[in-house]
């Protein structure tokens, strides 16, 4: 069964995404809900600087890069927090969460 073992080596073929939660450590994707691209939405309060175009960009337009993408996940069956991650959309590899990510995660959580 060498092939099966090889196939399961991290970074080759993943059985499921292994998402690095900054609070709980690496956990299977089935514990999470996907929250989409990590987008900075315009201020909900009517600020004169916010235009339709800002909303259009935030709600609709996506980089959709073949490479590193920044996104958020909800750790439903874990710490029940929103976390932000950087993942490669071609290889499915996650970058190590940085302190900045954590800060951002808790900000997203507040915003929710």
Partner 1 sequence: MRKSRKVKYSGFSLLRNSLGSNFWPNIFPTPELRPHYDIIIVGGGGHGLATAHYLSSRFGETNVAVLEAGWLGGGNTARNTAIVRSDYLLDASFELKNLALQLWGTLGSELGFNLMYSPRGYIDLAHSDGELEDFILRANAMCLRGAEAKILDRHQLQKRVPQINLSESTRFPIVGGLVQEKGGIVRHDAVAWGFAKSAVEAGVDVVQNCPVTSFEINAGKVTGVRTNQGVIGCEKVLISVAGASSEVARLAGLLLPIESLNVQAFVSEPVKPALDVVVNYNAGLCYISQTDKGEFILGGATDGYPSYAKRGSFSSIEDVIVRSIQIFPFLSGLRLMRHWSGTADIPMDGNAILGSTPIENLYLNSGWGYSGFKATPAVGLLMAELLTQEKPPDLIAPFSLSRFEAGNLIDDSGTGPYTWLH
Q: Which does 23 bind (CB under 5 to 8 A by kind): Zn ion, partner 1, none?
A: Zn ion
- Residue numbers at the binding site for partner 1 (CB under 8 A): 13-17, 29-30, 34, 36-37, 52-53, 56, 59-66, 69, 71, 89-92
Shortest separation between residue 19's beta carbon and Zn ion, angstroms: 9
Shortest separation between residue 1's beta carbon and partner 1, angstroms: 17
The residues that bridge with 28 in the sheet, in sequence order, are: 18
Q: Which C-beta is closer to partner 1: that of 75 or that of 99? A: 75
State in Å, rounded, how far the first CA of the chain is from the last one: 47
d(Cα 33, Cα 77) in Å, to the nearest integer? 9
Q: Which C-beta is closer to partner 1: that of 52 or that of 99? A: 52
Note whether 101 and 109 are within 8 A (CB).
Answer: no
Q: Which C-beta is closer to partner 1: that of 28 or that of 80? A: 28
Q: Which CA distances in Å does 13 have to 9, 17, 50, 85, 94?
A: 7, 10, 44, 20, 14
Phi, psi angles (nearest 5°) of residue 97: -65, 135
- Residue numbers at the binding site for Zn ion (CB under 5 A): 21, 23-24, 75, 78-79
């Amino acid at each position: 069964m060498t092939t099966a073992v090889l196939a399961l080596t991290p970074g080759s073929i993943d059985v499921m995404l292994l998402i690095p939660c900054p609070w709980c450590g690496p956990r299977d994707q089935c514990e999470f809900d996907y929250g989409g691209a990590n987008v900075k939405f315009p201020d909900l309060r009517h600020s004169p600087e916010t235009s339709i175009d800002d909303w259009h960009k935030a709600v609709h337009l996506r980089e959709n890069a073949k490479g590193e993408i920044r996104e958020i996940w909800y750790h439903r069956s874990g710490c029940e927090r929103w976390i932000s991650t950087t993942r490669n959309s071609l290889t499915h590899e996650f970058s190590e969460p940085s302190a900045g990510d954590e800060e951002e995660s808790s900000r997203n959580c507040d915003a929710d």
